Amino acid sequence: APPRPAHGCGSGALLGRFGVVLQALLALCAFSTLMLKRFKEPEEERRPWRIWFYDTSKQATGALFIHFANVFLSDLTEEDPCSLYLINFILDATLGVLLIWLGVKVVSWFVQRKKYTYLVFGEYGDPPQAAAWIGQCILYLLIMVFEKTVISLVLLIPGWTKLQQILLGFIPSPQLELVLVMFVVPFIVNAITFWVVDSLIMRKYKQKDTLDINGSIETSQARRNGESQMLLSPDMDFDQSESDQDTSGLQGTNEQMTQSSSQVVT
């Protein structure tokens, strides 16, 4: 076994038995926040379990990719891998979220411009199609690859080594450092990140409902106007027909009176 340093966790500690247990516990607790988010949604906007699974599984795929990429990058150093993992994680939770937001906006604009309906995040068809979910997972995974590539380039900037040396150097126990790096800090940050990203890639029910409501209001108003015009038009025709009949009747009466008077004079 490689010698354990005086401070920090040793090489391979992230993939050791204790590290794997912490990672599994982290995944369970972090994704429970997405389930809590579903129950916090209003009942009229709450997603069915199948739609919720389609939405959250995209995040699960991206989170697993980022996690194993961070573990791989952290084991490349001969320094403390826990501190390097924490630096990667903090960058993913700050600059990375901004890059994910930008990627989702660009991809959404592109697929809407090309009218790829099933590739719009959160739209799976009616009934939901697994092909749409697979396509959206691939798009989201490409966004995560872009995000991780940019973060890796940022880590090449000089100065991160000094931060790595002082970040967790005050913790004497490697086990405690592993718990902080692999569970405590990631759980808090992932809970916030998952909540924000899920709101970003889910179907915008409020906006859709508002459009439907506005559309129904306009339709109902147009319907009322049409009905009022239809109701008014027969009355106008009826009034016109009655006035025509009255006019023709008066003309006939006048003609009869004229003829009778001419006969009397004769």
Q: What is the pLDDT of residue 110?
A: 92
Nearest to 86 by CA among 98, 97, 73, 99: 73
Q: How far apart are CA 75 and CA 88, in angstroms?
A: 12
pLDDT for residue 196 is more than 60: yes
- For residues 143 and 104, the answer to whether their CB atoms sit within 8 Å is yes
How far is the first Cα of the chain from the last one, in angstroms, to the nearest whole number? 144
Q: How confident is the model at residue 223 (pLDDT cuts 50, 70, 90)?
A: very low
Burial-class residue 198 by CB neighbours within 10 Å (0-12, 13-18, 19+): buried
* Cβ-count burial 64-89 (b if 16+ within 10 Å, e if not): ebbbebbbebbbeeeebbbbbbbbbb
Q: What is the pLDDT of residue 218?
A: 43
Average pLDDT over residues 185-200: 85
Q: How confident is the model at residue 238 (pLDDT cuts 50, 70, 90)?
A: very low
Nearest to 168 by CA among 67, 69, 73, 89: 89
Q: Which residue has the higher pLDDT, 163 or 52?
A: 52
Average pLDDT over residues 124-145: 90
Average pLDDT over residues 146-154: 93
pLDDT for residue 106 is more than 90: yes
pLDDT for residue 185 is more than 90: no
pLDDT for residue 2 is more than 50: no
pLDDT for residue 22 is more than 80: yes
Dump strand ranges (E) for the chain: none
Q: How confident is the model at residue 210 (pLDDT cuts 50, 70, 90)?
A: very low
Q: How far apart are CA 227 and CA 64, in angstroms?
A: 58
The model's pLDDT over 33-49, given as tens digits with 9 standing for 90+, comes to 888 888 888 888 888 88
**Which residues fall within 8 angstroms of residue 203, CB to CB, at 6 or more apart?**
47, 51, 55, 121, 122, 123
pLDDT for residue 3 is more than 50: no
